[in-house]
Structure 1
């Protein structure tokens, strides 16, 4: 794939349609949407507005739950997780920008369960890079992207949202 910038709006519209169908099909009464900081929060804000969900939006920072937190060179800007209501017994819609290995989602699930046991967790992601190291998959995916080993993708935002694909430094 060539380096460049991609528009996110069409992918967000597709994700909103599929998320509405998921909520309806699974009878998810008043789901709580939680965005994973940073890109997942930007996407969750847009989806939350499009879906007109009644529960306030939650924000999760998984920095301390990452399995690479103590490795040299990791210097996260940790911000607090903000969940507007209890998660115990709630249907959760977890939003992230990119799923690749599954490790970020594993960390998010670990943190989420520290707050209580939800009734269900549905995962929504803008892009699937299909390089799993853990058996985790998204319920709703905006699109699939095959990158070369020397390429990276970055979500830019929050306004406007765009994807940049570039060569690894």
Structure 2
């Protein structure tokens, strides 16, 4: 069975439109974008520019917060976390590429709260698929896809951004 991947540019356009509405609803001066390394950070940079938001978006690396270190080990490349100066009482719009089990988002929330106490955290993802293991859902999403359990979709990039399907390692 061949699965047709959605067009990345269309997904990004939809996501940008929905994040813009979310920022407007939450008041732009109260919002900051924070992307999860790696794909979410690429998207946060792109959205920051498209939406004309001041400053740079934050980026979190969840390597030390993963709940599968005993199985997968520490990632070979740990990237620095970069947060806006003060996230206390801000609305953090957390950006990720693919929402699947929810475990990456849980790890990112742990990292974010090490830097302060936001007024709220909203989740924006490029693509979501069924299979949550935790009660986490996106506030805004560019699109959705269904895949067999042994496959996963990944965002590759940064230039150009494109989606690929891989066989899951277990």
Equivalence for 2:131: 131
Shift of 1:17: 0.8
Shift of 1:73: 4.7
* Change in 2 beyond 3 A, CA 1:100/1:72: closer
Shift of 1:163: 0.3
Equivalence for 2:63: 63
Work out whether residues 61 and 79 of structure 1, in 8 Å CA contact, stay in contact via their aligned partners in 2. yes
Pairwise mapping of residues 1-169 of structure 1 onto structure 2 (< 5 A)?
2=2, 6-168=6-168
TM-score after normalising by structure 1: 0.91
- Runs of at least 4 residues of structure 1 off by over 4 A? 3-6
CA distance in 2, matches of 1:89, 1:69: 32
| Secondary structure class of the residue paired with 2:141 | strand
Alignment gaps of 5+ in structure 2: none
Alignment gaps of 5+ in structure 1: none
Shift of 1:167: 4.0
Work out whether residues 30 and 53 of structure 1, in 8 Å CA contact, stay in contact via their aligned partners in 2. no
Q: CA RMSD in A?
A: 1.8
TM-score after normalising by structure 2: 0.91
User: Which of 1 and 2 has higher RCO (CA within 8 Å, sep 6+)?
Assistant: 1
Shift of 1:44: 0.9
Work out whether residues 4 and 165 of structure 1, in 8 Å CA contact, stay in contact via their aligned partners in 2. no
The count of residues paired between Structure 1 and Structure 2 equals 169
Query: 1:88-122 deviations in whole A, cap 9, x for unaligned?
Result: 11111110011111111011111111111001111
